[in-house]
Chain A
Amino acid sequence: MNLLVIFISAVLINNFVFYYFLGLCPYLGVSRKIGPSISMGLAVTFVLSLTAVSSWMINHWILLPNGLDYLQIVSFILVIAALVQLVEMFIRKVSPPLYQAMGIYLPLITTNCIIMGLALLAALKNYDFLETLVFGVAAGIGFTLAIVLMAAIREQLELADVPKPLQGAAIALITAGIIALAFMGFSGIIK
């Protein structure tokens, strides 16, 4: 039951983009078209799942038992950077079409707040292994949902007559704000 709560919470109620403000850089940059947005979402979900697992292992097997919790920030970011490197190399070798589809986004993801954010939040909330994994996957799904919604709206905005000062990031952020407002309607669906 708890896992379901975590899942729904991360996708809808406490969406990583609309509630935690994470993952905005790729969000603003990539979400202009629906196609690349889906690919980006997939890549992010993939990396998030791997990060969830590895950050939990490092935290609970190495850091906490030895009272090294102050090394969380350094270890997490290094692990994420290494992970993304490995994943990129792996995908490029094993499946070129998959690499074409999402591999190019991977370097963008390393210094992305959303990956580090997941590792930190899961550690903060003290989730166990399974909870962290569900949290990570759900975060990715939530991100993908957010980015695809944005892309759909922005594709329409391309046709609209946006005033010059608002073009680009400004209108994207305002749009995000309105979607965030809509997402707030999801609060409290878990009783």
Chain B
Amino acid sequence: MNLSTRMVVVLTSIGLLSGSFLAIVGQVTKERILFNKKREIEEAALRVVPGAKSIQVIYEERDFTVFQEKDEQGRVVGYALQASGTGFQDEIVLGVGVNSELTKLFSLTIIDQKETPGLGAKITEEASFLRYWQDRDCTQPLQLRKPPVEDPKSLAANEVNTITGATISSKSVLNIVNQAIAKARQLREEGKLGSEK
């Protein structure tokens, strides 16, 4: 066969062969990959609401998802809000657990972040940051306590601690959480948070 035909034949065969092979690999790995992604989100959501055994997505938009969580008896125990926003370096993805009335914040977990190691990255640490976010009063927007305190009990009910040397990361987390809760409140007023059964 002449050159042009040969070029076409070779390219097409390579294309078809690789396409088919990739299709097989794609299918074989698809389940696992979806499962991995889902599990990461669900684990975070369950972690932040105490007593939660099952979750259900009741609202989803870009960078913001609301999970309704129920206990073993099927009673609603709260919501997990997954939200993301700009941090010091790059995007921060986090999850907060709140009660059904949106008045109490159970806890916070950081799902993804690329802050400075040893400084901003401490927002993922229990001892340096997360333990100050337990059982906060979020009827009003949360505030940052600066300079930071050692004992969580010396914080006011609506205050959270700043990380020394990582004010911007701490503040970014605060803003993302406050905005998420405000958004959830607005959704509830619009009746979009589903029934509370």
Contacts and interface: CB of A to CB of B under 8 A. Distances in A.
Interface string A38-49: 000000000000
Contacts of B168: 188, 191
Contacts of A69: 26
B89 A13 contact: yes
B86 A70 contact: no
A188 B25 CA distance: 41
B37 to A, nearest CB: 12
B183 to A, nearest CB: 15
B22 A71 contact: yes
Given A188-B168, A191-B168, A71 B86 contact: no
A187 B18 contact: no
Contact of B90 (A14, A70, A191): A14
Contact of B26 (A13, A14, A71, A126): A71
Chain B at the A interface: SS class: helix
A67 B171 CA distance: 38
Contacts of B22: 70-71, 74
A180 to B, nearest CB: 13
Tell me which of A67, A68, A70 has the highest count of chain B C-beta atoms within 10 A of its own C-beta. A70
A125 B116 CA distance: 20
B174 to A, nearest CB: 12
Given A74-B18, A74-B22, A5 B86 contact: yes
B25 A70 contact: yes
Contacts of A71: 19, 22, 26
Interface in B1-56: 18-19, 22-23, 25-26, 29-30
B59 interface: no
Interface string A61-83: 00000011111001000000000
B88 A188 contact: yes
A191 B62 CA distance: 20
A187 B88 contact: yes
Interface string A1-45: 000010001000110000000000000000000000000000000
A67 to B, nearest CB: 8
A70 B26 contact: yes
A190 interface: yes
Contacts of B62: 126
Contacts of B29: 70
13 contacts: A9-B90, A13-B89, A14-B89, A14-B90, A67-B30, A70-B22, A71-B26, A74-B18, A187-B88, A187-B89, A188-B88, A190-B86, A191-B171
Closest 9 CB pairs of A and B: A70-B26, A188-B168, A188-B88, A187-B89, A187-B88, A190-B86, A5-B86, A70-B22, A14-B90
Interface of B: 18-19, 22-23, 25-26, 29-30, 62, 86, 88-91, 116, 168, 171
